[in-house]
Amino acid sequence: MKYSLVFDLDGTLVDTAPDLMSAHNYVMKKYGYEEKPLESIRHLAGRGAAAMLIQSIDSNGDLIKKTPIDSETHKEMTNDFINYYRKNISGHSTIRKNVISLLEWCKKTEIICAVCTNKREDLAIKLLKEINLYKYFDFIAGADTFEYRKPDPRHLTNILDILGIEKKNTIMLGDSETDANTARAAEVYFVLIKDGYTEQKLSDIHHDHLINDFEVVKQIASKYLNIS
């Protein structure tokens, strides 16, 4: 019988906010918008480049309505963001506490690991390679891997179908309501990570378990997946 852990990437496996915010401020400065400190927009780090830029610009009111950004400019800003980020993807990003310990344990216990992220697939792979986590994963699904992305549950269930793993033998781990809603719709057990990229209260986000240290996941997985 095969078992799996499926991880979100930004804010879950890796604190990518510093490098994403560096790209954000580069683009904002280039196009004449306000640069912002990390903490004021950290919650946007897992939204994707296009959404992050719009939500950041419009965070103080109806700026977009008053001074609309045409689609071509928004596309240029997004492309500039991605190009800058690609070149500086891992300069200040850090792996979350005991992630490597958990992934090593999964290798030893033959638990299959996958990534389900709304980051573009090529960027997700590049990041994981640069921080030496790529070797632990059997499948990586980004925002453009399929025709759908989180919170569409098919982003998750298609991974399981490809790997040949039943939902009841899977645990999903993520830091946001997007991950939670994906797991809930897919009917997959969900572990919520504290201190991720969300504005919602953790109590308002669906979860079966709440953690701040990945070492605990070994116990959760052993119990829920009946792994000795």
> 113 exposed, middle or buried (CB, 10 Å; 0-12, 13-18, 19+)?
buried
Q: What are the tokens at 75?
A: 């596309």
CATH superfamily of 4-15+93-224: HAD superfamily/HAD-like (3.40.50.1000)
Of the listed 8, 10, 19, 175, which one is catalytic?
8
Our CA angle for 164, 170, 171, nearest 5°, is 150
Tens digit of each residue's pLDDT (9 = 90 or more) over 78-114: 999 999 999 999 999 999 999 999 999 999 999 999 9
pLDDT at position 199, please?
81
58 carries an active-site annotation: no
Report residues of the chain scoring pLDDT below 70. 59-68, 228
pTM: 0.92
pLDDT at position 59, please?
62
Domain ranges of the chain: 4-15+93-224, 17-87
The C-alpha atoms of residue 223 and residue 228 are separated, in whole angstroms, by: 8
